[in-house]
Amino acid sequence: MKVLVLGGAGYIGAHTAKALAARGDQPIVVDNLSSGRRDFVRWGPLVQADIRDGAALDAAFAAYKPDAVMHFAASIEVSIGEREPLAFWDNNLAGSISVLGAMQRSGCRRIVFSSTCAVYGEPERLPLCERHVRKPINTYGRTKLAVENVLEDAARAGDIEHAALRYFNASGASPDGDIGEEHEPETHLIPNALKAAAGLGGPMQVFGSDYATRDGSCVRDFIHVDDLAAGHLRALDRLAGRGGSFACNLGTGQGVTVMEVLDAVETVVGRPVPRVMSGRRPGDAPELYADTRFARDELGFAPARSNIEQIVEDAWRYHGPRWRSAAAA
């Protein structure tokens, strides 16, 4: 298949483009490079364009005639969304509507959408299943839910078939170390913990040590980015085969505490992770982890690299050589 990969120069998009190419599909990356990396586009052509530019999208659809779209292009930093909500809504919702308009004009009907477990908000029960009420508590989650609603309406009207994939905590890097996690600013736990262990930056802040969990710290569901990419391919194949729109969690169903992540980093790097215990952070749920039955039963999907030690090892393989050199300088 030919697949238009929107945001394919970013973290998850690039890993998915690599996975598509590895099985013989053709990824065509569309990215404005505002946060994506040009050097992550290695497995197909790059169309440098903003998804809100309808004319540029029309040209890409006309030139490549894709069989499907994978949509990763979005603003994701939660704190920026709270400070700059209009920009978030413009990029995430207006951009997605622009994409759907271009699909309609070109006759392309299949789209795999990068959603998030943030659409659920505060969990009423665990594990979180796809039928859980969706009440997001931040701008990021609300914009993703809005796109899910638009997709559902468009599907009911017969315009598209879609898969909305609700990620839990994307993490890790390509096992061969060629691409990995590069956000600016970097707010994710594992790369920041690796950097702290390498002697770069300050100590890690652990927000909350008195939760009713194994060690008092928050529990999260970490899924390897290569497993996420595999989940996208399974979702695309389901749309191309039996069809029918759906939403699906992509996680492991296993929770890992923040302290357990820091311990894994110390084991892999062989150095301590300096840490400072802080109070609870507003809006943090004590535990979040996925019910994965739908992904298993409907997509035949099971994570292969998502134990926390493997995730950290792969992330360190990507970051380690550069950060070791920086720390020694």
- Residue ranges matching CATH 3.90.25.10 in the chain: 189-220+253-289+305-328
Task: Look at the block and give the residue holding tokens 């999907």.
Answer: 301
CB-based contacts of 325, cutoff 8 Å, min separation 6? none
Residue 329 has what pLDDT?
A: 58
What is the distance between the alpha carbons of residues 256 and 96, in angstroms, rounded to a whole number? 33
Q: How is residue 217 annotated by DSSP?
A: S
Query: Which tokens belong to 143?
Result: 């914009």
pLDDT band at 282 (very low <50, low <70, confident <90, very high): confident
pLDDT band at 327 (very low <50, low <70, confident <90, very high): low
What is the distance between the alpha carbons of residues 70 and 64, in angstroms, rounded to a whole number? 14
- Residue ranges matching CATH 3.40.50.720 in the chain: 2-170+222-250
Q: Give the relative orientation of helices 258-269 and 189-197 as an angle to the nearest 10 degrees.
A: 40
Query: Are the CB atoms for 112 and 232 separated by under 8 Å?
Result: yes
Side chain identity at residue 219, one-letter code: V
Q: Which CATH number fits the domain 2-170+222-250, given the four candidates 3.40.50.720, 2.60.40.180, 3.30.420.40, 1.10.3210.10?
A: 3.40.50.720
Side chain identity at residue 261, one-letter code: V
What is the distance between the alpha carbons of residues 267 and 135, in angstroms, rounded to a whole number? 38
Q: How far is CA 196 from the centre of its chain?
A: 23
Q: How is residue 48 annotated by DSSP?
A: E
Query: What average pLDDT does this structure show over 89-111?
Result: 98
Query: What average pLDDT does this structure show over 304-315?
Result: 98
Query: Are the CB atoms for 37 and 9 separated by under 8 Å?
Result: yes
pLDDT band at 184 (very low <50, low <70, confident <90, very high): confident
Query: What average pLDDT does this structure show over 148-163?
Result: 97
Tell whether the model's pLDDT for residue 130 goes beyond 80: yes
Report the mean per-residue pLDDT for the chain: 95
Tell whether the model's pLDDT for residue 319 goes beyond 90: yes
Tell whether the model's pLDDT for residue 326 goes beyond 80: no
**pTM, whole model, 2 decimals?**
0.96
Longest dimension (CA), the chain: 59
Domain boundaries 189-220+253-289+305-328, corresponding CATH code:
3.90.25.10
Over the Cα atoms of the chain, what is R_g?
A: 19
Strand partners, 116: 167
Helix (H/G/I), strand (E/B), else coil: 157: coil
304 burial type by CB count under 10 A (0-12 exposed, 13-18 middle, 19+ buried): exposed
Give the residue numbers annotated as catalytic, written as ranges. 140
Tell whether the model's pLDDT for residue 328 goes beyond 70: no
Considering the chain, what percentage of its residues have pLDDT values greater than 70? Answer: 99
Strand partners, 71: 6, 113
Give residue-wise pLDDT tens across range 44-65.
999 999 999 999 999 999 999 9
What is the distance between the alpha carbons of residues 144 and 139, in angstroms, rounded to a whole number? 9
Query: Are the CB atoms for 9 and 29 separated by under 8 Å?
Result: yes
What is the distance between the alpha carbons of residues 94 and 56, in angstroms, rounded to a whole number? 15
Query: What average pLDDT does this structure show over 108-113?
Result: 98
Side chain identity at residue 24, one-letter code: G
Query: Are the CB atoms for 286 and 222 separated by under 8 Å?
Result: no
Q: How is residue 112 annotated by DSSP?
A: E
Side chain identity at residue 70, one-letter code: M
